[in-house]
Amino acid sequence: MNLRDLRYLLAVTEHEHFGRAAKASGVSQPTLSVQIRKLEDQLGVILFERSSKQAAPTAACLQVIDHARDAVAATEALLASAQSLRDPLAGRFRIGIIPTLAPYLLPLIFAPLREALPALEPEPWEDQTDALLERLRSHQLDAALLATEVDGPDLVSRALFDEPFLAALPPDHPLAARATVAEADLSQDILVLSDGHCLRDQAMEACGQTAALGGALRASSLPTLMNMVAAGYGTTLIPGLAAGAAQDAGLTLRPLEGRPGRTIRIAWRAHFPRRIAVEAIGDVIAERLSSFARGAAAGAV
Amino acid sequence: MNLRDLRYLLAVTEHEHFGRAAKASGVSQPTLSVQIRKLEDQLGVILFERSSKQAAPTAACLQVIDHARDAVAATEALLASAQSLRDPLAGRFRIGIIPTLAPYLLPLIFAPLREALPALEPEPWEDQTDALLERLRSHQLDAALLATEVDGPDLVSRALFDEPFLAALPPDHPLAARATVAEADLSQDILVLSDGHCLRDQAMEACGQTAALGGALRASSLPTLMNMVAAGYGTTLIPGLAAGAAQDAGLTLRPLEGRPGRTIRIAWRAHFPRRIAVEAIGDVIAERLSSFARGAAAGAV
DNA sequence: CACCTTGATAGGCAACGCCTATGATGCGAG
DNA sequence: CTCGCATCATAGGCGTTGCCTATCAAGGTG
């Protein structure tokens, strides 16, 4: 059975006339006769009572036609639904973002995203790198903004911008007197985030593996960490985009010698079909952050 | 777009795997690949994210698939509905019956009909001949039991049995003394039915056109007519099947000389597709009434 | 590095749907 | 009563489509 046949059935039922139904369906009358006849054979039921005047739907036809209408309506709804999904730059887009980036990046890119991709409905999802990768691989996310390279061959990524690290100090800390700070100097009393944050690993790598082992306090979030530094418990290393928040928290910031930092990347599944949307989002973020990267580089000199 | 494609879509979505979906659909994997690809082109939407491991439905696919399910379900409902309508001897059968026949015939044929055609659901409709013919022509009836020939070429009929007329008299009527009655004798004080009843015309024809002109009383139904006769207002002519009811009403019945009567026919549209059901019903009625016809003939001797 | 699995592609074949032309039937007007 | 005009059905030819098998390309795994 074919949807075309059901449309023919609806047409003949509506017109009660093969010729007019054929014209309305855009086919010839014999075509309609043959197809309706086939349908009748398949169903084992006479659908129309033919006479030289008209083709009257039988009771069986009237009982069957509601289902035909349902089927045709469903396929038309399907088509309409597909129509609205055609634009890869439109619709829901679930994007994961790591916690040390989300609160500082999202406010910067919301407006540009809305302007560049007005039909896109980004749904941010904040979690740590491993969780994001798992959700990405299980199709629960469309893309993710990370500060690390992605492994496996099933995922690919593209660098969007470099985010320098800054030394964050209590205002009365000895290092606050310097214009720039060496990473090694921080390692003495550096505080880091709790397990799972990529920033924790990056900070420890930048300042030497043994750093922070003495610190029993491990903040579960960047704001917490900044408050702990402000309270004088030690120093830390913060990503550049959090500079404003750090200053609001009363921290003193200093560029790091050698300008260490992390690269923010957008990652997606290699076979993800809306790659166009991924690239477009990447473009918007890279464009928006290009001035930031330059400014940070300038400030570090 | 084709229903087959929608089934393929459902299969791949269910299995998330082209090979297994192909096997489940009873086609080869390339067939499925090509058809799904075509569907994607038609819809302008990527439905599956292919990898070497699996074919994961995209968000667009998941949004579209409900409609596909609806369409497939509707066509299956259609098929099931048609299945149940396949037997022309099953289901509703709207049969018109004239009022001077219905109350006396129906009790006789209900049981035989039920036995011979257990799946048939007869729906009797009682009305006068003209109304029945109109409803028959407008497809509001499937067949009609009449006492007249049908005109036009769009209707056909088949005789089922002959129903003799009987003279119905008040017990104290002079004619009640005779064993048989001549029609001409009745015309003096015959009472007839109101306009529209074919029995009225037949009675008047049997007894001469001018008969009953003097009678201002024209009963609207046969029971009324019989009661009027019983009350002594005159005589009448009743169809044989009503004999029992007439006797119950206290009338004296006498055979008519020359054994006039009417032929009960079943009529239907020439193109009516359930002719088999019509014939089957006709067979049952003719069979049931064959003994009656013989008995009536015997009684008239 | 070979092998296995995945989905995609190519070529050939049969079936199907469509067309035009024609037939059969019924109805109405002259 | 017959001719003409409707109706729907049938026949033959043609192009498209869907399907198959065989093969390819890519990824992952021993």
Q: What are the CA-CA distances from residue A256 to residues A197, A226, A231, A289, B161 (Å)?
A: 21, 17, 22, 20, 114
- Tokens 């214009």 map to which residue? A179
How many CB pairs (< 8 A) connect A and B?
125
pLDDT for A179 equals 87
Find the mean pLDDT for residues B235-241: 92
| Residue found under tokens 């420890």 | A204
Among B200, B1, B60, B232, residue whose Cα is nearest residue A272:
B60
| Inter-chain residue contact B70 with A68, CB threshold 8 Å | no
* A218: in domain: yes
Least confident of A111-115, A250-254, A255-259: A255-259
Distance A52 CA to C29 C1' (A): 17
Residues A230 and A189 in one domain: yes
B272 contacts A49? CB cut-off 8 A: yes
Is residue B72 a contact partner of residue B3, using CB atoms and an 8 Å limit?
Answer: yes
The verdict on B69 and B104 lying in the same domain is no
Pairwise CB contact (< 8 Å): B139 & A49 = yes
A37 CB less than 7 Å from any atom of strand D: yes
CA–CA min distance B69, chain A (Å) = 8
For the cut 70, the answer to whether the pLDDT of residue B209 exceeds it is no
- How far, in whole angstroms, is CA B124 from its chain's centroid? 7
Domain limit, last residue, from B39, B68, B85: B85
Nearest residue to nucleotide D26, by CA–C1' distance, is B52
Three-state SS letters, B149-216: CCCCCCEEEEEEEEEEEEEEECCCCHHHHCCCECHHHHCCCECEECCCCHHHHHHHHHHCCCCCCCCC
Residue A220: its pLDDT value, please?
A: 84
- Give the pLDDT confidence score for residue A301 in this predicted structure: 28
Residue A216: pLDDT band (50, 70, 90) is low
Q: What is the 3 state secondary structure string of A100-132?
A: CCHHHHHHHHHHHHHHHCCCEEEEEEECCHHHH
For residue A259, being part of any structural domain is answered with yes
Residues B77 and B112 in one domain: no
User: Whole-number Å distance, CA B162 to C1' D3?
Assistant: 42
The CATH number that applies at residue A31 is: 1.10.10.10
Q: Kindly report which listed range (A206-220, B91-105, B239-253) carries the lowest average pLDDT score.
A: A206-220
**Within this chain, do residues B180 and B257 fall inside the same structural domain, yes or no?**
yes
Which nucleotide is the nearest neighbour of A53, by CA and C1'?
D7
Using a CB cutoff of 8 Å and minimum separation of 24, what contacts does A124-130 make? Answer: A124/A95, A124/A96, A124/A97, A125/A94, A125/A95, A125/A96, A125/A97, A126/A96, A126/A97, A126/A98, A126/A99, A126/A102, A127/A96, A127/A98, A127/A99, A128/A98, A128/A99, A128/A196, A128/A197, A128/A198, A129/A98, A129/A196, A129/A198, A130/A196
What is the reported pLDDT for B298?
40
pLDDT score, position A117? 97
Average of per-residue pLDDT values in chain B: 88
Q: Is residue A104 part of a domain?
A: yes
Least-confidence region, from A12-16, A141-145, B89-93, B208-212? B208-212
B20 and B150, same domain (yes or no): no
Contact A264, A202 (CB under 8 A): no
- With cut-offs at 50, 70 and 90, classify the pLDDT of residue A300: very low
**Average pLDDT in the A201-216 region?**
65
Model pLDDT, residue A208: 67
Partner A contacted by B152 (CB < 8 A): no
The 10 Å Cβ neighbour count of residue B134 is 13
Lowest mean pLDDT among A230-234, A248-252, B187-191, B228-232: B187-191
Q: In this structure, are A81 and A104 located in the same domain?
A: no
CATH number at residue B259: 3.40.190.290
Residue A92 lies in a domain: no
pLDDT tier for residue B301 given thresholds of 50, 70 and 90: very low
Same domain, B194 and B214: yes
- Same domain for A46 and A113, yes or no, is no
Window B:262-301, CB contacts with A under 8 Å? 269-274
Top-confidence residue, B201 or A243: A243
Contact A82 B44 (CB under 8 A): yes
pLDDT at A210: 56
Confidence bin at B2 (pLDDT 50/70/90): confident
Query: Could you list the protein residues whose CB lies below 7 A from any atom in strand C?
Result: A 2, 4-5, 26-28, 30-31, 34-35, 38, 51-53; B 17-19, 29-30, 33-34, 36-37, 50, 52-55, 152-154, 270
Cβ–Cβ below 8 Å for B45 and A85: yes
**Per-residue tokens: A278:** 């991924």
Same domain, A54 and A112: no
> What are the chain A neighbours of B269 within 8 Å (beta carbons)?
49, 51
Q: B97: which residues sit within 8 A by CB, 6+ positions away?
A: B105, B106, B124, B125, B126, B132, B144, B145
Mean pLDDT of chain A: 89
Alpha carbon distance B137, B139 (integer Å): 5
Give yes or no for A1 touching B (CB within 8 A).
yes
Give the per-residue pLDDT at B238.
Answer: 92
Average pLDDT in the A238-252 region? Answer: 94
Name the more confident of B296 and B199.
B199
Q: How many domains does chain A have?
A: 2
Which of B85, B107, B135 corresponds to the end of one domain? Answer: B85
Residues B82, A44: C-beta atoms closer than 8 Å: yes
The nucleotides of chain D lying under 7 Å from a protein CB are 6-12, 18-23, 26-28
The reply to whether B77 and B163 lie within a common domain is: no
Q: What is the tens place of the pLDDT at every residue in A138-147? A: 899 999 999 9
Mean pLDDT, residues A217-225: 85
Instruction: Report d(CA A24, CA B170) in Å as an integer.
Output: 67
Token duo for residue B221: 């139904």
- B1 secondary structure, DSSP code: -
The Cα of B292 is separated from the nearest Cα of chain A by a number of Å equal to 34
Residues of the domain holding A64: 3-85
Rounded Cα–Cα distance for residues A147 and A144 (Å): 10
**Residue B197 CA, distance from chain mean position:** 20
One domain for residues B129 and B222: yes
The nt closest to A27 (CA vs C1′) is C18
Q: Name A264's bridge partners.
A: A161
Q: How many CB atoms lie within 10 A of CB B3?
A: 21
Write the pLDDT tens digit of every residue in B119-146.
999 999 999 999 999 999 889 999 999 9
The Cα–Cα gap between A75 and B136 comes to 37
Among chain A residues, CA nearest to B53: A154
Residue A66 lies in a domain: yes
- Please say which residue of B66, B85, B104 terminates a domain: B85
Q: Does A43 touch chain B (CB under 8 A)?
A: yes
Question: Which among A39, A76, A80, A35 has a CA at the least distance from the CA of B78?
Answer: A39
- Output the domain CATH number for residue A226: 3.40.190.10
Q: Do B69 and B115 have their domain in common?
A: no
Q: Domain for residue A146, yes or no?
A: no
